[in-house]
Amino acid sequence: MVQPAKPAPPMAPVSVLPAAPWLLAGLLLAISGTLGCDPLVGGECQDGFFADGTECLPILDELSTANGGHPGSGGDGGFTPGSSGGGSGGFGASSGSGGAAGAEQCALPLTQCPAGCVDLDSDFSNCGACGVHCPTELCIDGACIGDPVGHTVIIGMSYLESSASTRRLLGNAVFRSLHSPLRIVDYRDYAVAGASQVVVGAVASEAALRGRSYALSTVGLGGLEEALVDGASDVLLVHDQALAPEGVLAGLGQALAGPIEDFVTGGGTVVVLATDTGSGEMCDFLGASGMLECTGFASMVGQWVINVLPTDTMGNGVPSPLLAKEATAAILTKEGPSPGIAHVFTNETASPVVIHKVTGP
């Protein structure tokens, strides 16, 4: 008599893990060449890529959703991994503030804030209460300590094209503050559209590489002063205003001199991209705004840019020397290196290409 076959034992469930964001980013990098564009013949990049010279590079935070991704079950949203078996939240996009946190109970003395479980006595982004950021990045017993230190970074590059090294440099400047999400005010009224696209793409890529979330707000002159007051922003990013009509930039600098001074004195960071392209009047803007005594620019295309202060936060991790890309210039100024003023990158004759000024006690 034929015995009936025994049923097969049930298979153990198989967990399929989502691909890690950096693996997806690598895949995008691998295929970017096939999706590329050639601006010289009018080609356009596919969605999720930005034009950088003759290349299409992936915008890494396109891997995220507009609201910062989906939170893990029991984990924090945004970049914070889940706990107690919860999954990881999605990457926070430039327009979002990270995914919503999953259900979580904080062990004392930690407190539940939108960013997760924090110690209100020592967390400088949640000092004394959720969302209270210390400009000094020093919180003791729930109170911000010390006087704020502001930063002004002037980069002699317009970013019509970039490299991994120049994107790293821009990331060092923009993401110097540890406030999360970082609040960036972006001014580009007279900038070349292609250069602005590269700048915004570089900021997005650097944010993803550094695990940072941010919110970028593009404003015109009318909204710029308001955006710089009362701690509403952390970074002012001024693009190279190459298309400005003659005489406009000096007036713009005068209008912003007071707000910029107050912003930096209060601990803010100003990043200015300035070259001799277009109207060549970015020197007028820098001088009228009080940021730098600038007398002109010297084109550096095809020359070497040298990182002479790799220990400065602007030079951290940037290889040297690096070949100057299109629209790169040395900045001619009477303000030499001194306490509070660092010439971080220079040309071969020691004229600065990147200047880092520190304002504070």
Per-residue model confidence as pLDDT tens digits over 296-307: 999 998 899 999
Q: Average per-residue pLDDT in the chain?
A: 79
> Which 3 state secondary structure label does DSSP give 222?
helix
Element (H, E) at 135: none
| CA angle (190 as vertex; 287, 229 as ends), nearest 5 | 60
Q: Are 332 and 350 in contact (CB under 8 A)?
A: no
> Tokens for 337?
């290196």
Per-residue model confidence as pLDDT tens digits over 208-262: 999 999 999 999 988 888 888 877 899 999 999 999 999 999 999 999 999 999 9
d(CA 88, CA 74): 9
Q: What mean pLDDT do residues 3-21 have?
A: 46
Per-residue model confidence as pLDDT tens digits over 150-170: 999 999 999 999 999 999 999
pLDDT of residue 221: 85
124 pLDDT higher than 60? yes
pLDDT of residue 136: 67
Measured between alpha carbons, how far apart are the two ends of the chain, in Å? Answer: 96
Q: What percent of the chain has pLDDT over 70?
A: 70
Model confidence at 58, pLDDT cuts 50, 70, 90, reads: low
Model confidence at 59, pLDDT cuts 50, 70, 90, reads: low
The beta strands (E) that lie in 107-222 are given as 111-113, 116-118, 139-140, 143-144, 150-155, 182-187, 214-218
Beta-bridged to residue 140, according to DSSP, are 143
Q: What percent of the chain has pLDDT over 90?
A: 53
d(CA 152, CA 329): 18
Per-residue model confidence as pLDDT tens digits over 266-296: 899 999 999 999 888 999 999 999 999 999 9
pLDDT of residue 6: 52
Burial 130-144 (b: 16+ CB within 10 A, else e): eebbbbbbebeeeeb
Query: Would you kindly state where each structural domain of the chain is located, as residue ranges?
Result: 150-359
CATH for 150-359 is 3.40.50
pLDDT of residue 295: 94
Higher-confidence residue of 59 and 302: namely 302
Model confidence at 180, pLDDT cuts 50, 70, 90, reads: confident
Range with the lowest mean pLDDT among 55-69, 137-151, 253-267, 326-340?
55-69
Q: What mean pLDDT do residues 191-217 have?
A: 96
Per-residue model confidence as pLDDT tens digits over 317-360: 999 999 998 899 999 999 999 989 999 999 999 999 999 999 87
75 pLDDT higher than 70? no
Element (H, E) at 49: strand 49-52
**Spatial CB neighbours of 162, under 8 Å, sequence gap ≥ 6:** 52, 53, 170, 198, 202, 325
